[in-house]
Amino acid sequence: MIFSKASRMRLFLISIQMLAGVCFLVGEAPVKDSPGDELFGGDRVWQIEMVIAEKGMAVLQAYRWGRHNTGQERVDVPVIVREGGNTYTNVAVHLKGSAGSFQSIHSRPALTLKFGKFQKGQRFYGLKKIHLNNSRQDPTLLHEKISRELFQKAGIPVPRSSHARFKLNGRDLGMYVLVEGFNEQFLKRHFREPGGNLYDGGFVQDIDHPLDRNSGDYPNDRSDLQALVSASRDPDLKRRWLRMENLLDVKQFAVFMAMEVFLWHWDGYCMNHNNYRLYQNPENGLFVFLPHGMDQMFRRPGGPLEPAMQGMIARAFMQTRQGRVLYLQTASELMNQVFNTDRINARLKEIAAAILPSLNTIDPGYSRFLNQVVDSLILKVNQRSVALSKELRNPVKEPHFLSGGIAQLDGWESNVLYGYTAATKAPHPGARGQALILSAQGPSAGNWQTRVLLDPGKYRFEGRLKTSEVTRNPRSQVNGAGLVVTLQSQSNRRRNRSSGSSRSQSPRMLLPGNWAATSVTFQIHQPATAVNLSCELVAVSGEAWFDAGAARLVRLSD
């Protein structure tokens, strides 16, 4: 295998880095008093006005974003920008945004401003480039700022943000989110060597696409990027991990991935191969992933700790045992160090209080709306914390298969899926162990669940159950008591259900004491797949007992 000069340097440094433990900082801490500190150092709402001449308006009006015309050039036009008593002339501006955030220049456009492109040396609070985001998909106006602060607290390099009241040609467009640009200035704040290639992930493109380059001293050398793609596709998982270690900062990536999952950045790299930047650090030759586009966070508070990974590097990483162990260890540490709900919620209220006076000048009734959406966001943060804590207490584990390919199952935890389902454990006549009991009280669904990590092969989830007067819910497509297999990284569910009472079932299915044998057979195709095994009851009324001592997993074939 041929390594670039940067990659060979990485081999020299690897032993030192491995001694450092899980390190959340990629380079040195951001330099104090660096460009943009005043702009992003607090919660001030900035007042920005922009004047665009008629000719420039015509050019911007001609641009239309679309899924099939993403190659259309975003043309920069010269504008005048005023902030406070300062006036900036010949500022280069173009429309930004894609599927969810793009709006025309005559609506509430999102804009990219480059202060030194047409007028050499011009800076805005020391910065060459900023963005004005219309926050079209975030009515709270808080997602970007709180998420960036949390990524930064975890040690992930991320552009800073604040808020600005924005006027365009005299039109008051309301509150915008002001964001620092990705460029060499940003890189200097976070990396000792800012000359590496910085790639733009574009719109829903993975790293095997011809990514645009934002900056870098090596525009024609993409050999290491191609090598990372090749390493992620290596079918030998042990070799894949070794190859990826030589190209990817695996510790940084574990933090990046955990934070995207914690904040449920569903439109980010890991879950949608979107909204990201990729930087190759010349200091060690390793790639690091940087987050972007964080205006739709916390959408699924109960989302799993190990969701379906659409990003090819995230997927390849989690398919290796080393990657999964590192990810889970990192997630556990971040939960304690970063995801503190009291601090997060207090910060949300603090930011909201800072922007509220300006919002009230737009609409005196805005405070009520803002309080509602902030309370909703705080509730989601709390729900997210509960869901993550529960999974981290009961992590996915590998079953211990004995001779004959049989593994006993334990680690059962109860869940109310909807409605009200009582869940208890107790001895029961004829059970080989304790009975896992579910009782429906009104239209409801609940389960006892354990999680396992499985390699490719065919398996059978076996158990014994009893039911008593289980009544179907006519409004539900799924009813009864039974075993359920769910591939955690997919929407795949396999069920085996029964209703009524055990004594009314076919005599062939009955065991002594009216216990009925039941099973679900399923196939695993991907290595290191997380699987949920559930004993589930969906009903209006009735009870179900599952024999915990009889619950087992049988490996039928590799």
Whether 400 is in a domain gets the answer no
Query: Does 234 lie in the same domain as 309?
Result: yes
Amino acid identity of 244? M
SS3 282: coil
Q: What is the pLDDT of residue 70?
A: 52
Domain that holds residue 366: 343-393
Final residue belonging to a domain, choices 136, 160, 190: 190
Q: What is the pLDDT of residue 71?
A: 53
Look up the CATH number of the domain holding residue 493.
Answer: 2.60.120.260
Which helix (DSSP H) or strand (DSSP E) does residue 111 occupy? strand 110-114
Distances (CA, A) of 309 to 126, 201, 251, 306: 38, 16, 18, 8
Query: Does 306 lie in the same domain as 259?
Result: yes
Whether 197 is in a domain gets the answer no
Distances (CA, A) of 152 to 126, 160, 256, 347, 536: 21, 9, 10, 14, 41
Query: Does 242 lie in the same domain as 324?
Result: yes
Which helix (DSSP H) or strand (DSSP E) does residue 92 occupy? strand 86-96
Which segments of the chain have a pLDDT < 70? 1-33, 66-72, 100, 488-513
Distances (CA, A) of 463 to 42, 427, 431: 58, 16, 11
Final residue belonging to a domain, choices 319, 339, 359: 339
Final residue belonging to a domain, choices 323, 339, 355: 339
Whether 401 is in a domain gets the answer no
Query: Does 544 lie in the same domain as 430?
Result: yes
Query: Does 35 lie in the same domain as 158?
Result: yes
Report the number of distinct structural domains present in the chain. 4
Whether 398 is in a domain gets the answer no
Query: Does 207 lie in the same domain as 148?
Result: no
Q: E-assigned strands of 352-475?
A: 406-408, 413-418, 421-426, 435-454, 457-471
Query: Does 51 lie in the same domain as 181?
Result: yes
Cα distance between residue 252 and residue 270, in whole Å: 14
Q: What is the pLDDT of residue 223?
A: 87
Q: What is the pLDDT of residue 507?
A: 29
Query: Does 81 lie in the same domain as 172?
Result: yes
As beta bridge partners, residue 24 has: none
Query: Does 325 lie in the same domain as 276?
Result: yes
| Structure confidence by residue, pLDDT tens digits, 169-196 | 999 999 999 999 999 999 999 999 999 9
- The answer to whether residues 489 and 307 touch, using CB atoms and an 8 Å cutoff, is yes
Q: What is the pLDDT of residue 492?
A: 53
Whether 93 is in a domain gets the answer yes
Query: Does 322 lie in the same domain as 214?
Result: yes
Whether 63 is in a domain gets the answer yes
Query: Does 347 lie in the same domain as 326?
Result: no
Query: Does 243 lie in the same domain as 364?
Result: no
| Structure confidence by residue, pLDDT tens digits, 22-49 | 444 443 334 446 899 999 999 999 999 9
Q: What is the pLDDT of residue 508?
A: 30
Q: What is the pLDDT of residue 297?
A: 94
Whether 520 is in a domain gets the answer yes
**Tell me, what DSSP letter sits at residue 549?**
G
By C-alpha distance, which of 64, 98, 73, 26 is closest to 275? 98
Based on the number of CB atoms within 10 Å of its own CB, is 80 exposed (0-12), middle (13-18) or buried (19 or more)? middle
SS3 of 491-505: the string is CCEEEEEECECHHHC
Which helix (DSSP H) or strand (DSSP E) does residue 132 occupy? strand 129-133
> Between 223-232 and 5-18, two packed helices, what is the crossing angle to 10 degrees?
50
Whether 473 is in a domain gets the answer yes
